[in-house]
Structures are given as C-alpha cells and as structure tokens.
C-alpha cells in the first residue's frame, strides 16, 4: 500500500504548487494489528501524532497553508487529497479536496499562536466530524 506523505506548503494553492514555498514533509504509515486498515484521514492523523511529538516543524508565514496528502507505493507519489488550511485568531479550518474531485470542510479546531503547521493540521484532523473519509 505504501506510506503516507504529507507535504506542507506556505500560502494559498491557486493551481500551481511550484509557486508555493515548501515547508516540510511528514512520512509514515500506521497499520492496525487486528482490524481493517484505517480510513485515510484517520491514518494521516495517527502519522502526524507520532511525528509531531518527535520532530519540530515550521510555522506558516501567514494564516494560509496547503498540505498535499499522498501515498508512495514505490518511488512514485500518488496524490490523494489537498488541505487548504486557514488559521486565524485561534481558530483553524480546512477544505479538503480529494483526488476524485469530491470536497469536504472541517471547521472549528483551536490552535495557539506559536503552533507549527503539523500541530495545526493535527488539531483540525482531531476535530473532524463523523462521515469523513
């Protein structure tokens, strides 16, 4: 299946990823022992939990950042979803656009002013509502 990669970029995605400043990548996978695989966003949350505790990550320069979530089944990167994140005045939200074109919003995750991009996305994923992928 390959490990997940979350690539963090500073700024708003406008169709040209090359125009954004790359901040960092988080890679890993989480496989449950005795149950079916985790849903995509649940696995992403768990990977961020493991990495966020061990490694420092940068902060965005403003209130917007973009995250590309994909899987590396080998050397090739397969994009699965894009998070368009807005973090403003202690509240973070994200629009998630999946590779199939479907979209969902996650609202209402609190963050602190000195939180890095990994922590903010983790807070958003922890605040997700039922019915997400």
**Res. 30 pLDDT band, cuts 50 70 90:** confident
* pLDDT of amino acid 70: 95
Maximum CA extent, the chain: 43
Chain segment 71-105, per-residue pLDDT in tens: 987 778 899 999 999 999 999 999 999 999 999 99
Q: What is the radius of gyration, based on Cα positions, of the chain?
A: 14
Contact 88, 67 (CB under 8 A): no
* pLDDT of amino acid 92: 95
Domain spans, the chain? 3-126
Question: pTM for this structure?
Answer: 0.90
The tokens of 120 are what? 């903010």
Mean pLDDT of 51-55: 77
**Res. 1 pLDDT band, cuts 50 70 90:** low
Mean pLDDT of 3-20: 94
Share of the chain above pLDDT 90, in %: 69
List, in sequence order, the alpha helices (H) in the chain.
40-54, 117-126
């Amino acid at each position: 299946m390959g490990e997940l990669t979350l690539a963090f970029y500073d700024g708003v995605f406008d169709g040209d990823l090359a125009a954004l400043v790359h901040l960092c990548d988080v890679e890993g996978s989480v496989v449950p022992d005795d149950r079916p695989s985790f849903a995509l966003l649940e696995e992403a949350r768990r990977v961020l939990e493991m990495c966020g505790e061990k490694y420092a990550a940068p902060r965005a320069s403003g209130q917007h950042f973009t995250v590309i979530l994909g899987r590396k089944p080998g050397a090739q990167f397969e994009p699965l979803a894009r998070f368009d994140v807005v973090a403003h005045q202690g509240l973070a939200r994200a629009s998630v656009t999946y590779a199939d074109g479907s979209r969902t919003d996650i609202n209402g995750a609190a963050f602190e002013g000195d939180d890095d991009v990994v922590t903010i996305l983790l807070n958003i994923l922890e605040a997700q509502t039922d019915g997400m992928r």
